[in-house]
């Protein structure tokens, strides 16, 4: 019986190989990841992340899981808001990204209420009903089985906790021609020039197109058990913030 396949960008690959391909992409781009994010988004990604955290309703003393946290941008915003009595776990499936994030946070003097975990979002190694907030920013589209990951996030949240997903989504139709031109013509060239890796940034553009649209992702969150789900479009829907609650 043939192996089940899934998408890796616009290519089909065996399900059990996708995580390895994604790991190779982020191993390749880890050192230039923050610089490339600034160049690709003209720095707007920092505003998107700040806007998302402002929607999180964080309070001192809360327990937070920052999934696919990479180089630590979201954790850097979370840690001061939850204070010394709170705790945030910066988690990523990629060791190179996690090491990069740890170094950057320590350099900024952020470490006292932060710990680090190498973990797969589909099989989170955390107790049931543990976190007040789970965030995943620009990482869900790289997960092989997104529904399984959402189920795992739901399990680890406390009753009353919330999930916050910040992810590229489907822009308004008026933006699509310019957005597509930029994604498939300019972005890979930036990757080649700055990160010396055109293929990885072509994959990133393709992975965005394969990610569920706003309503589809909201439906997946509801299927996982989340309630009062909503989404907020940013930059004309190029990015969307999704929220859901565990009651």
Q: Kindly state whether residue 58 falls inside one of the protein's structural domains.
A: yes
Q: Kindly state whether residue 11 falls inside one of the protein's structural domains.
A: no
Segment 136-152, tens digit of pLDDT? 999 999 999 999 999 99
Whether the per-residue pLDDT at 170 is higher than 90: the answer is: yes
Whether the per-residue pLDDT at 1 is higher than 50: the answer is: no
Q: Are 238 and 168 in contact (CB under 8 A)?
A: yes
Q: Kindly state whether residue 6 falls inside one of the protein's structural domains.
A: no
Q: Kindly state whether residue 47 falls inside one of the protein's structural domains.
A: yes
Neighbours of 193 (CB within 10 A): 10
Task: Tell me how many helices (H) and strands (E) the chain has.
Answer: 10, 9
DSSP assignments along 66-91, one per residue = EET-TTSHHHHHHHHHH-TT-EEEEE
Q: What is the mean pLDDT of residues 35-58?
A: 91
Domain that includes residue 95, residue range: 19-245
Tally of domains in the chain: 1
The predicted model scores a pTM of 0.92
Segment 72-119, tens digit of pLDDT? 999 999 999 999 999 999 999 999 999 999 999 999 999 899 999 999
Q: What is the mean pLDDT of the chain?
A: 93
Cα-trace Rg, the chain: 17
Q: Kindly state whether residue 12 falls inside one of the protein's structural domains.
A: no
Give me 67's structure tokens.
């999934």
Segment 177-209, tens digit of pLDDT? 999 999 999 999 988 988 888 998 899 899 999
Q: Kindly state whether residue 172 falls inside one of the protein's structural domains.
A: yes
Residue 221: CATH number of its domain: 3.40.50.150
Q: Kindly state whether residue 9 falls inside one of the protein's structural domains.
A: no
């Amino acid at each position: 019986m043939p192996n089940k396949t899934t998408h890796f960008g616009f290519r089909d690959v065996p399900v059990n190989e996708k995580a390895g391909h994604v790991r190779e992409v982020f191993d390749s781009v880890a050192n230039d990841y923050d610089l490339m994010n600034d160049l690709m988004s003209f720095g707007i990604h920092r505003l998107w992340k700040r806007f998302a955290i402002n929607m999180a309703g964080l309070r001192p003393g809360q327990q937070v899981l920052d999934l696919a946290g990479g180089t630590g941008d979201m954790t850097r915003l979370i840690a001061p808001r939850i204070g010394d009595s709170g705790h945030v776990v910066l988690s990523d499936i990629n060791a190179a990204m996690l090491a990069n994030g740890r170094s950057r946070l320590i350099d900024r003097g952020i470490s006292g209420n932060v710990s680090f975990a190498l973990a797969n979002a589909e099989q989170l190694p955390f107790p049931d009903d543990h976190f007040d907030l789970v965030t995943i920013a620009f990482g869900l589209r790289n997960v092989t089985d997104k529904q399984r990951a959402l189920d795992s996030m739901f399990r680890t949240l406390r009753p009353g906790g919330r999930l916050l997903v910040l992810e590229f989504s489907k822009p308004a139709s008026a933006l699509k021609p310019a957005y597509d031109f930029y994604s498939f013509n300019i972005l890979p060239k930036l990757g080649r020039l700055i990160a010396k890796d055109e293929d990885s940034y072509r994959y990133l553009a393709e992975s965005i197109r394969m990610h569920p649209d706003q309503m589809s992702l909201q439906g997946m969150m509801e299927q996982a058990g989340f309630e009062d789900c909503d989404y907020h479009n940013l930059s004309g829907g190029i990015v969307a913030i999704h929220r859901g609650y565990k009651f």
